[in-house]
Structure 1
Amino acid sequence: MVTDRRTAILEAAARTIARRGVRGLRTEELATEAGVSTALVYYHFKDRAGILRHTLEFITDRARRHSLERQGADGPADPRELLGMALQLEFQDLPEVHENTTTWGELRAGAVFEPELREALATASAAWVRHVAGLLTLARPAASPAERTASAERLTALREGLNARRLSGVLRPDHARELLGEAIEVELAHLTAHARTPIERFD
């Protein structure tokens, strides 16, 4: 029951932040949204900063589970296709995906005014970059770790920007996917061009 209530609070926080942004999050309203007392919210998360930090962790874990489910169900074996699927996963028009993406964007924007969010955001972003760099390792194992990480940083940043434009109606979903697909091909070509020879890899 305790775990269920904690999850209910985090789900309510994600919904509230997606609708109203970080600065619109009020603990009393969050408690009402979650169907719990304000005291219980503070019992689980101590303060507002704790609510924000744990909400970020919650949506990150939820996105990771969704990605693993998709890969397990019908995930491609080809590294290039796996990379494309991982990067375009949040382009799906599913309620939970939409909420996750919107909440992430609001938390990222909120970090400008909420310094306590920055460390948690940096940790989550770094984990996402490492995941994409790992997929790039499967696709282009001869490229250097530094080159793969740089490619992962560019691709994840572009994905976030394209997704924000897609959600706001500035960019058509099909065009966003097309642009990201082209960017993936550019990065893979870049990694191929900068691949080390077997001798260089053992230097």
Structure 2
Amino acid sequence: MSSRQTRILEAAARLIARRGVRGLRVEELAVDAGVSTGLIYYHFGDRAGLLKKTWEFINERAERYTTSGRDPEGDPRGYLEDMLLFELQDVPEVRENSTAWGEFRASAVFAPELGRQVHEATEQWITDAADLITAARELGDVAPDVCAQDAAERLTALIEGLSERWLTGSLSLERARRLLRGGLALELGRRMAVSAVREVD
């Protein structure tokens, strides 16, 4: 992707976070990105193409800032905890991305084409979390009776709700993070040190 396309998508994410999907105007986007409207249509085809690429950009950006420094194979539970907690960071990129995600999710109620995209991204997120829970359970770091798929679905739904409440000022960031940690403990059972698990093996 060219730097110009990236600049357009950054501006689109910013405008969607501020005004919602329905409030995105190509003319306003062109001014914000410092390009012509013709160039936006050249790169993205039409408004639907622009929205699709913006959605992909938002998801890729979230994947970057939620990637943990931990080894997902050596400490899958720690990696999962980081992945979810990194959704609750008081930095402009995370706030903007989470707000834009919420705007896409809300608009998907009325737009079937957006609904499919949101559904696919959500399913992938749940699958990634479930895979980490399964790996942690195999290491003995998650209670043996935990259903990975169900726990992943509840935890990702929890982070969406906590993020929305934090972003709207209904919840402090510290409380949101504390509630998420509590949710992780309830869903997954007690945290066991991975090094201790390895010693037992």
| Match of residue 198 from structure 1 | none
**Correspondence for 2:76 among 79, 93, 104:** 79
* Cα distance in structure 2, aligned partners of 1:119 and 1:77: 34
Q: Using the TM superposition, name which of 76-85 and 131-140 deviates more.
A: 76-85
Higher helix share: 1
| Match of residue 92 from structure 1 | 89
| Match of residue 137 from structure 1 | 134
Q: Give the superposition deviation at 1:77.
A: 5.3
Q: In structure 2, what residue type is equivalent to 1:57?
A: E
Q: In structure 2, what residue type is equivalent to 1:105?
A: G
Q: Does 2:156 align with 1:156?
A: yes
Secondary structure at 1:170 match in 2: coil
Q: Does 2:170 align with 1:173?
A: no
Q: In structure 2, what residue type is equivalent to 1:108?
A: R
Q: In structure 1, what residue type is equivalent to 2:149?
A: T
| Match of residue 9 from structure 2 | 10
* Cα distance in structure 2, aligned partners of 1:120 and 1:11: 19
* Cα distance in structure 1, aligned partners of 2:26 and 2:118: 21
Q: Give the superposition deviation at 1:133.
A: 0.9
* Cα distance in structure 2, aligned partners of 1:36 and 1:113: 30
* Cα distance in structure 1, aligned partners of 2:73 and 2:65: 15
Secondary structure at 2:66 match in 1: helix
| Match of residue 25 from structure 1 | 24
Cα deviation code 1:61-80 (max 9, x no counterpart): 11112223x426x9995433
Q: Is the 8 A contact 1:111 1:117 kept in 2?
A: yes
| Match of residue 40 from structure 1 | 39
Q: Give the superposition deviation at 1:45.
A: 1.3
Q: In structure 1, what residue type is equivalent to 2:152?
A: A
Segments of 5+ residues of structure 1 without an aligned counterpart are 191-203
Q: Is the 8 A contact 2:66 2:84 kept in 1?
A: no
Change (3 A) 1:8 1:80: same
Q: Give the superposition deviation at 1:189.
A: 3.0
TM-score under structure 2 length normalisation: 0.85
Cα RMSD (Å) of the superposition? 2.3
Q: Is the 8 A contact 2:9 2:57 kept in 1?
A: yes
| Match of residue 120 from structure 1 | 117
* Cα distance in structure 1, aligned partners of 2:69 and 2:29: 33
Secondary structure at 2:10 match in 1: helix
Q: Using the TM superposition, name which of 161-170 and 31-40 deviates more.
A: 31-40
TM-score under structure 1 length normalisation: 0.84
* Cα distance in structure 2, aligned partners of 1:116 and 1:181: 34
Q: Is the 8 A contact 1:49 1:117 kept in 2?
A: no
| Match of residue 105 from structure 1 | 102
| Match of residue 194 from structure 1 | none
| Match of residue 198 from structure 2 | none
Secondary structure at 1:36 match in 2: coil
Number of positions where the alignment pairs a residue of Structure 1 with one of Structure 2: 186
Secondary structure at 1:91 match in 2: coil
